[in-house]
Amino acid sequence: MSWYRNAVWFVKGLREYTRSGYESASKHFNPADVEVNVAGRSFLVTGANSGIGKATATEIARRGGTVHLVCRNKERAEVAKGEIVTETGNPNIFLHIVDISNPKEIWNFAEKFKNEHKLNVLINNAGCMVNNRELTEDGLEKNFATNTLGTYILTTALLPLLEKEADARVITVSSGGMLVQKLNITDLQSGNGTFDGTMVYAQNKRQQVVLTEQWAKAHRNIHFSVMHPGWADTPAVRSAMPDFYQKMKNTLRTEAQGADTVVWLAVSSEATKLPSGLFFQDRQPVPTHLPLASTHSPPEDEEKLMEVLEEFSQKFKSTSSG
């Protein structure tokens, strides 16, 4: 059935995920939803030096929020921070250099951050699509380390901080590519069979949807959401998917269009009127499975994913020098 899932997803993508899909959906947006002042609220955005992360950080800064940029590359991050401050006139932009593929770094950062800052909204945007199987210094497959384990550790480490605040939110930037994947807990680090970076990425994005659903059940006073930005023209897409980019570049969304739903989920009061744990596209909750696609998982698999990630998390927490 994988051919069916891929075909249905691609047709759906051509219709909904491109710029024309955004333009069609945006006719039904209420501009007042995001015309808000969020001064005094603190937002943390990972992968914030370019693409959807930077566009999100810029829009939040424009609305007066205090924004913490979490980036891996100090030089590029400094440039991005300067551009955001200049463009928005908001000086409350702070930079933290953290590699989201490095669990020990994440733990050390989170422990320090909890002692020095408050946090109202966490936006898990950092991600990667490495097309050849590559291991981190910890022996972790790079896509899994960044997209799944990094997201899990940062979120769970910062939950105590979020629990202290009213209207706390966690938003994770996933992908519609997850629709072609069923959760696979038997090979989380893609060591078996032929390595396909695109499908590994899609599996990680399915895992993020499951994480969001599980967190929503466990933490009732935080609003969790996960979203698909559509197919946007970002540096990550250009570098990780050059063939796709060449074919689709004239139809891709802008970075701001890709970021629109992230911003809506982060700042609007309308977003939190909807249940926690949903998957969003263009400001609307959408199904997490294609029709007839057989991608549903038994509850025990989803619980097992959480257990395995917690084991990984604690292993690296115990070896970090907080």
Q: First-to-last CA distance in the chain?
A: 47
Q: Report d(CA 62, CA 39) in Å as an integer.
A: 10
Of 118, 106, 92, nearest to 46 by C-alpha is 106
Of 12, 3, 29, nearest to 263 by C-alpha is 29
Residue 172: Cβ within 10 Å count? 26
Say if CB 225 and CB 265 are below 8 A apart: yes
Q: Which of 17, 22, 152, 201 is catalytic?
A: 201
DSSP 226-242: EE---SB--HHHHHH-H
Q: Report d(CA 322, CA 320) in Å as an integer.
A: 6
Burial of 231 (0-12, 13-18, 19+ CB in 10 A): buried
φ, ψ (nearest 5 deg) of residue 70? -110, 115
Q: Based on DSSP, count helices (H) and strands (E) in the chain, helices before strands.
A: 12, 8
Active site (annotated) includes residue 4: no
Cβ partners under 8 Å of residue 211, min gap 6:
148, 151, 152, 155, 172, 226, 305, 306, 309
254: alpha, beta or left? (left if phi > 0; alpha if psi -120 to 50)? beta
Active-site residues, by number, are: 201
